[in-house]
Amino acid sequence: MALRSLSKMDHLLLGVDKGLRAIVPRSNPSTRPLPVSNDTIPELNITEARHVAGLMRINHTGEVCAQGLYHGQAFSAKDHDVKQAMHQSAQEEVDHLVWCETRLAELGSHPSIFTPLWYVMSFGLGAVAGAISNEFSLGFVAETEAQVSEHLQDHIGQLPVQDTRSKEILAQMDIEELHHRQVALDNGGAALSPSVRHTMRWMANAMKATAYHL
């Protein structure tokens, strides 16, 4: 059924469902298997496992934030095509959410306890961005994906040498985040002001510092 034919209540229920799936672990089916070359679970000592779990918890939180951001932008965007693009990007990144959840479970760890808060905050930011203009909204996506790519590459460099499993997962995520950035730019995303970019980076660093431990 096309989204345009749905009632306001249908849209509301779909939005609630997507929000719950973003914050409730193992509530999303993955459309693709883990992007790894084999099924061997790397052996890590306690210190290494805790560090990798902290990094993957940050990455999982980033994907929760991406879901909130895209959902919020789709909620307030004025243009139907932009709404569709936000829904599509959110759907494509569901696999990233599942991959991070899977690796956390393999490490005997868990997502951030503040997951609902991260989602709500990101939804609010996305809704504000979508309400400002299509160009700003798409530019916000492009800048977000650029910063996500930076921390993914940083995390890949921090992983233990033997943990090729986490490296392959994060490398595939990075490829797709950069693709989403380019799509946003190609569709008219505007460059954000330095103050907005710096604020986004400060908020992201605060989130990462918290999510690593909690």
11 is in an annotated binding site: no
Q: Is 152 helix (H, G, I), strand (E, B) or coil?
A: helix
101 is in an annotated binding site: no
> Contact at 8 Å (CB) between 45 and 204?
no
63 is in an annotated binding site: yes
Give exposure, 142-158, as e/b (b: 16+ Cβ within 10 Å): bbbbbbbbebbeebbee
What burial class does residue 21 get, using C-beta atoms within 10 Å of its C-beta: 0-12 exposed, 13-18 middle, 19+ buried? middle
93 is in an annotated binding site: yes
180 is in an annotated binding site: yes
Q: Which of 34, 99, 94 is nearest to 64 (CA)?
A: 94
> Contact at 8 Å (CB) between 178 and 149?
yes
43 is in an annotated binding site: no
Q: Which residues fall in the annotated binding site for Fe cation?
A: 63, 93, 96, 145, 177, 180
Q: Which residues fall in the annotated binding site?
A: 63, 93, 96, 145, 177, 180
